[in-house]
Amino acid sequence: MVAASKNPSPKAILHGFLSVTMKVSELLRKDGTRNEIDGGDALINGIMNIYKEAGYTSHDVVAKLRGIVKQKKIGHTGTLDPDAVGVLPVCFGSATKLCDMLTDKSKEYEALMRLGVTTDTQDMSGRILTETQVHVSEEEVKQAIMYFIGGYAQIPPMYSALKVHGKKLYEFAREGKEIERQPRPVEIFSIQILEIRLPEVRFVVSCSKGTYIRTLCTDIGQRLGCGAAMAHLTRTRVGNFRIADSITLDKVEELMQQGTYENYVIAPDSVFMEYEGATVKCEAENALANGNKLYSRQLDFDHHKSFSDGEQLRVYNGNHEFRAVYIFAENEGVFKPCKMFL
């Protein structure tokens, strides 16, 4: 009789590894919203449309959510001033790869502007610098506001999180220092004036990323010659995330206790539904899993269409699980990975 070896063979080690891998894979939900391991906490993979309340920074919201859902991998999609309220999409788990992409989305705000006053923060939370009587007509106000529709070069405020020489501007501002800032191109897509009750004006503005509504109010006030500051701000939309569908932190906590939070977790691929979708064929599964380029012949498209250079594509594996966004390179006739969600 041959004595059994105390050390497992390479074949046995490989078999054991594959068995563990298969068991873990079985625990992964196909909808991408959560993973769950026996005896452990549920791991959320998706996006929640959070209503940020006044008094919280965007970082505060993330910190509180980590405590509520017991999960570390969480990220927000762009800062919102502490006094501002409204839409703040928050990404969980693998969906945190979307944070920079959602930051690029267009945004919509409802703002209340007060004419005749300027502050060091460009809103009414700051130290008042000047106060003047307002002697402008409603028509002059309308013309000054509408002047900014389109593209213009906006100088970011000192009280902002933008970095200069590796230091945030608001840190310089708190030290009483004024730092030279370069104008940045922004786009005001539309402005709708809701109400004029001088010295206050309420309006809705749709704009590109990087636009400071505080600064827009300041610029309008300068054009009118009386100064202005932002009195209140509500972010009503980020991309396709709208305020009517947002939920508060208290609501998230309630949903977690009830075990019904999944109804409010948005799958990562929902952000890309304007793009064409495709499922890889069996022979291309490994290419997708490794983030390799893909050819049209390796894909089953949701719709038959031709692609232009730079067009993006949602890609799913054979189990219809969202795995990546690819981009078409026309000069090579292939799709290249843009963002992987493996």
Contact partners, residue 161, CB within 8 Å, separation at least 6: 79, 168, 169, 170
Contact status, residue 9 vs residue 1, Cβ threshold 8 Å: no
Distance CA 203, CA 48 (A): 27
Q: Which of 303, 249, 309, 267 is nearest to 95 (CA)?
A: 267
Q: How far is residue 229's CA from residue 227's CA, in Å, rounded to a whole number? A: 7
> Is position 81 annotated as part of the catalytic site?
yes
- Rounded to 5 degrees, what are φ and ψ at 341? -125, 60
How crowded is residue 187: how many other Cβ atoms within 10 Å of its Cβ?
16
Q: Which residue has the tokens 């599964």?
A: 285
Kindly state the DSSP code that residue 223 receives in the 8-state scheme. Answer: H
Cβ(212)–Cβ(160) below 8 Å: yes
Omega cis (within 30) before 89:
no
Integer angstrom CA distances of residue 32 from 117, 266, 320, 321: 50, 9, 10, 7
Where are the strands (E) in 85-223, listed by range? 85-92, 107-115, 117-119, 128-131, 150-154, 163-164, 167-168, 184-197, 200-207
Query: Cβ–Cβ contacts within 10 Å for residue 329, how many?
Result: 14
Catalytic hit among 38, 41, 81, 302: 81
Active site residues: 81
